[in-house]
Structure 1
């Protein structure tokens, strides 16, 4: 790989502080002039005078990437047994193998740092459609209550007052309050009236002492306007019947409910008006009359079930059952909440929630997936799930929490976000000898703000197992289902020996299956060993364990959850995009050229009237991409006029519903994909879901916000930034709730040590929905990032 910009010779790198790990030293010690190794990458030294400073310069060709490790075929000449079929040599996957070779601004010297040494070094907070950064603030659910409480000197039938979510509690003029009219003051009701609204003494008053309930004038006027005078009068009578039953209820009665059901004389089409009416009825009649909306938009009204007190074994009376609030009264049928997770996948967390609540994980919807090795906060919605039920399982959850509950009338869908805010800690940072770290970081951040970065797909897109996701995608696009299954199930010797426990179990299960991949019994034994978190492998083994299904590889692939199945073909699209983007910058730098593509305006799209093929559906965007857009070639006149710049340029991923650049980049698609046996102009497949429609992605991207700070620290495990759960703990320490226990999550405090021997750089930035923070960091540091995964691979290699 060629490094853009002048590099510091070996021996001139210094570590900022005395505590830098021996890792950097071991890497540099292996280097020889004129090359040196930093962060698992090879760099060439280069004279500053030889750099071409013009914006028209061509970028250097990158060193060819090492050949990818291929899966051994069944016809391998390897004399060993069939056990070796699925075993591959796991390569240290480099950026070049994913088409990532260039830097947008090679001039700043960059610096080195360790990324994700701890998962708390990578904080991600989702940004919703309104531009709000989601923060975990509260783990409990608190109903909204009115300041005016019922009289306290009387005993109620329940310790919990009937609460209306509009903020009105047990008030006879609640309808007027909810509607915003009739706000003039009025005298308080008498004690007997209060008793009639639901409060009663142990000794029921006589009928002569009780006055029947009557509506206030403002309440009556509004009810009549919505329901008519006849229904309004019937409602008042029904309410008085309920109060009479409550006064006369006997200890041994179980349920006493008036059979009356009322229906509004005409439909109410305005949903907001219906919601207001539902809330007002519950407020006015103290929650003792329920309401719902029919399919024809009429309002049905009936009495809440009345639970009569009955004697328990200890002689105490049970509390009355509380009225059940309607979903409209709560705010909608969908519960929205913040999901806070530590070092877990989004789907893994939703599976755990479903397990504790005994509901299917598909009940939950979200806007986008988040990194695993990180601390993330994202919005999730669930249909007809009560907040109290969800909040109650918080103490049982380890590594994840739910909070900030709110009811809405709509569900979340993929793409319902504006991006993510990242707070990233780079540890053990090193700079060239004699350089000032503050100056280098400030210069690098300034360039990133002004110029942005190449909008590459990050390495996480391509997976971490023995075979890259995009290679599996190639096999699927070629219709080689058996090879695709073998590639998914591939394992390596390193995973069998030094990998974490679950990855080791995965490798052992795969090895067991490869001993006889044609046997359903072998697949059944392997699936017992496979950790459930590996959904693709588990789905394949479960299907192949069925009698007479061994060898049905296409069906096995189709049992993988759709989003995971499509991940492989999307990874291939990403590989092609990265490769074309790198070559485009090598050839033409940051100059926009005729034939490059720009996004069409809505007016241009309407005028062009694009129509998909009759047998094809309009393509949907990928989960981490912007909404589908149309593009067209830019003309030389538009370039000369300054109407478009390089920041308007988009590069297409291959597919049947996109336009390719109308210049020599078009031939580049043929060349790149032709090596894999694929034709960019023939992307329709018999399996419709892998018929890639394609999409467009901006070549360059500027972060909306970039800030930085430097912290000194000493300990390897020092916590340097505060997570959202730490914030919740800090608030509780101030008396705002019960303290969390260590079993409930991370509760330690962030440390500050100005005299520490180690140096960390903390970067905070906001990116769009389809941008990778690792690619922004790559541009910022000029490739000086070593991830925890690469570090582990380096250590394993050194030990070997």
Structure 2
């Protein structure tokens, strides 16, 4: 790992232990670094199980939010929330011991079901405040305020996600003028500015009914606006719905004669059907939900590059693939993957054509749904460290003792859980975190420029980048860019189509899958985390202090969000040593996390302000990116750590007799084999750095 970033990055990191360590070289070849993903069930993904692991992925946590809400709302007090077409107030709600606020709530369109739900989870005072807030918003909209600036209203804290789902749906169905959102476990409402815009194009009544229809998401349902004689006005409505909700619904104008013989044109809205993978023929509903799971083996290839190649071979989108984590490039890696719209039979047919690209697939089997990032137990590593020797200036001649000491130290004391350099890329002129910062600041043109910044070499990829960087000619650069650089080609194609303009820059980023877009922002947040961890250790060392955040274990039977499990250490708890260092976490920046209340929290604020992110909402609307943040343990431990020492020549000759006894003569060309497991999102290179006390 070379380049200006790696030098400064690695030098700033701290160590846990004070053992001497040793020197060695890693990743001499991909075969020296073998990574095998560990499934959530605990077995390696290379193991062919007859029972499909993905059967266990049908839990509600893997369903889209609106499906979870719909499921959560069924059978509350023996009733199912009706869809938009059924919300006609066909039965009377119970009105005993209800004041004026509740009466007004119960009198809305979807009376009984929605009233009963809100009454279940909201106090009378909150219902009053909600009604007053909704009336204020509606009055502001009616007064033609250009931009409603009413503040948010809190409905309280709901640690139970089922209660939050009920309130989300009930409030939106009852008050289309409002939208709901969650911060940590607090549920808030604010004005629905999309409602305001649509009500100016149609009417308040129609806007309310449209948003009720939209939120209900009843399959195969449609919504029709009142007939409109003005084509220009209909076009405005079409454009509004396409711009705001184009991925969810589609619109079409229909003409029919009334009983008076006059031709009338109305706009009808319906939810989009899922397209086929080729886009040339329609699949049945059953076929469109096909998922195939497999184990991906790749060599000297990035995960996203492998996905890009597979998507081009199969004729599907890169976004149709899902995976639990991104694996190293210069390595042989095995990981679980699921692809949508492809049958197992079709997946098996392409096996023979993949080997030339460093890709193999195995354990192909049907699946029921996608997998998501982090859905793994960890990774198993088998590593070869070559050119083993003592550090310069180390008087010891017993290399075996140094290795044994280092392995024991890391087993007992762990390592600092930094993000490894591969998280940020190995380029010298451009780093992923630099692109991520510009995206957070919504500097789209600069982000594109950074993305296409060439390195100081003349391979075809950098020749194409250099041409675009110097000329701005997207079409010419596209002709030069190799076919396997799918990400770069998609962005250049969008820039060629939409031009070098604000729209073109946004479209170029939207042309690549969401997982690729957000990767760059995560890289920047990872850089901040690493620097915060170094500051935390330099300031307080390896002891738990007041203001630290710790991740507490909750009762397994109690539903709680991650934020509910994060606790701020008090002075009393520090004095009594209530918590251990391996419970301390630091936040990855985002909009739904809290920061430590000690000096580390101040450091975060200063670092973000220095980067120009003091007002950052950690939402990039134009790119549909939402960064809630998360928490990461500072200290981690390897599991099942073992080592063997060989002669280099013995390994090449497949004669792998161990050298493990100090009294045996030290090998002339020592080579170290390490085997261990790490939790998900932990880096083997960082663990090795702690063990060897050297930068690679």
Q: Give the TM-score taking structure 1 as reference length.
A: 0.51
Q: Cα offset for 1:651?
A: 0.6
Do the aligned partners of 1:569 and 1:690 also contact (CA within 8 Å) in 2? no
* Greater helix proportion: 2
Q: Cα offset for 1:769?
A: 0.9
Aligned counterpart, 1:512? 467
Aligned counterpart, 2:478? 527
Aligned counterpart, 2:360? 401
Choose from 668, 686, 695 the match for 2:603. Answer: 668
Corresponding pairs, count: 450
Matches within 5 A, 1:523-602: 523-546=474-497, 548-550=499-501, 552-602=504-554
Pick which of 592-601 and 407-416 moved more. Answer: 407-416
Aligned counterpart, 2:409? 447
Q: Deviations over 1:589-621 (max 9, x none)?
A: 1111011001244469979x88xxxxxxxxxxx
Aligned counterpart, 2:81? none
Residues 1:514 and 1:135: Cα distance change in structure 2 (over 3 Å) = closer
Choose from 444, 452, 456 the match for 1:489. Answer: 452
Mapped pair 1:632 → 2:584? no
Secondary structure in 2 matching 1:515:
helix
Structure 1, gaps ≥5 residues long: 1-38, 41-90, 142-294, 296-327, 497-503, 611-626, 721-748, 787-800
Mapped pair 1:708 → 2:643? yes
Do the aligned partners of 1:491 and 1:511 also contact (CA within 8 Å) in 2? yes
Structural RMSD (CA): 3.5
Secondary structure in 2 matching 1:373:
coil
Choose from 36, 43, 46 the match for 1:125. Answer: 36
Residues 1:689 and 1:338: Cα distance change in structure 2 (over 3 Å) = same
| Alpha-carbon distance in structure 2 between the residues aligned to 1:655 and 1:669 | 11
Aligned counterpart, 1:469? 432
Q: Deviations over 1:56-89 (max 9, x none)?
A: xxxxxxxxxxxxxxxxxxxxxxxxxxxxxxxxxx
Residues 1:396 and 1:645: Cα distance change in structure 2 (over 3 Å) = same
Q: Cα offset for 1:714?
A: 3.1
| Alpha-carbon distance in structure 2 between the residues aligned to 1:665 and 1:464 | 29
Matches within 5 A, 1:195-234: none
Do the aligned partners of 1:420 and 1:767 also contact (CA within 8 Å) in 2? yes
| Alpha-carbon distance in structure 1 between the residues aligned to 2:587 and 2:632 | 6
Mapped pair 1:643 → 2:578? yes
Pick which of 444-453 and 370-379 moved more. Answer: 370-379
Secondary structure in 2 matching 1:401:
strand
Choose from 293, 305, 311 the match for 1:348. Answer: 305
Choose from 762, 769, 772 the match for 2:673. Answer: 762
Structure 2, gaps ≥5 residues long: 51-218, 220-285, 660-665
Q: Cα offset for 1:442?
A: 1.0
Choose from 478, 481, 501 the match for 2:441. Answer: 478
Do the aligned partners of 1:472 and 1:487 also contact (CA within 8 Å) in 2? yes
Choose from 381, 384, 388 the match for 2:338. Answer: 381
Q: Cα offset for 1:339?
A: 2.0
Q: Cα offset for 1:768?
A: 0.8
Q: Deviations over 1:668-721 (max 9, x none)?
A: 112222221221775455447445322111111111221111111139xx659x
Q: Deviations over 1:279-307 (max 9, x none)?
A: xxxxxxxxxxxxxxxx9xxxxxxxxxxxx
Matches within 5 A, 1:333-344: 334-344=291-301
Q: Cα offset for 1:485?
A: 1.3
The structure with the largest alpha-carbon Rg is 1
Residues 1:714 and 1:134: Cα distance change in structure 2 (over 3 Å) = same
Do the aligned partners of 1:708 and 1:762 also contact (CA within 8 Å) in 2? yes
Secondary structure in 1 matching 2:376:
coil
Pick which of 479-488 and 755-764 moved more. Answer: 755-764
Do the aligned partners of 2:35 and 2:334 also contact (CA within 8 Å) in 1? yes
Aligned counterpart, 1:421? 380
Q: Cα offset for 1:457?
A: 0.8
Q: Cα offset for 1:634?
A: 1.0
Do the aligned partners of 1:340 and 1:402 also contact (CA within 8 Å) in 2? yes
Do the aligned partners of 1:420 and 1:766 also contact (CA within 8 Å) in 2? yes
| Alpha-carbon distance in structure 1 between the residues aligned to 2:621 and 2:316 | 35
Aligned counterpart, 1:101? 13
Residues 1:756 and 1:386: Cα distance change in structure 2 (over 3 Å) = farther
Do the aligned partners of 1:706 and 1:765 also contact (CA within 8 Å) in 2? yes
Matches within 5 A, 1:358-369: 358-369=315-326
| Alpha-carbon distance in structure 1 between the residues aligned to 2:542 and 2:615 | 25
Q: Cα offset for 1:578?
A: 0.8
Matches within 5 A, 1:308-327: none
Residues 1:756 and 1:532: Cα distance change in structure 2 (over 3 Å) = farther
| Alpha-carbon distance in structure 2 between the residues aligned to 1:629 and 1:709 | 44
Secondary structure in 1 matching 2:388:
strand
Q: Cα offset for 1:392?
A: 4.2
| Alpha-carbon distance in structure 2 between the residues aligned to 1:366 and 1:698 | 22
Matches within 5 A, 1:426-437: 426-431=385-390, 432-437=394-399
Q: Cα offset for 1:478?
A: 2.1
Q: Deviations over 1:323-347 (max 9, x none)?
A: xxxxx9xxx9644332222222233
Secondary structure in 1 matching 2:334:
strand
Aligned counterpart, 2:98? none
Secondary structure in 1 matching 2:525:
helix
Matches within 5 A, 1:27-106: 91-97=3-9, 100-105=12-17
Do the aligned partners of 1:99 and 1:578 also contact (CA within 8 Å) in 2? no
Q: Deviations over 1:318-369 (max 9, x none)?
A: xxxxxxxxxx9xxx96443322222222333344444555555554432222
Q: Cα offset for 1:631?
A: 1.6
Residues 1:362 and 1:752: Cα distance change in structure 2 (over 3 Å) = farther
Secondary structure in 2 matching 1:93:
helix
| Alpha-carbon distance in structure 2 between the residues aligned to 1:691 and 1:365 | 18
Mapped pair 1:371 → 2:328? yes
Q: Cα offset for 1:664?
A: 1.6
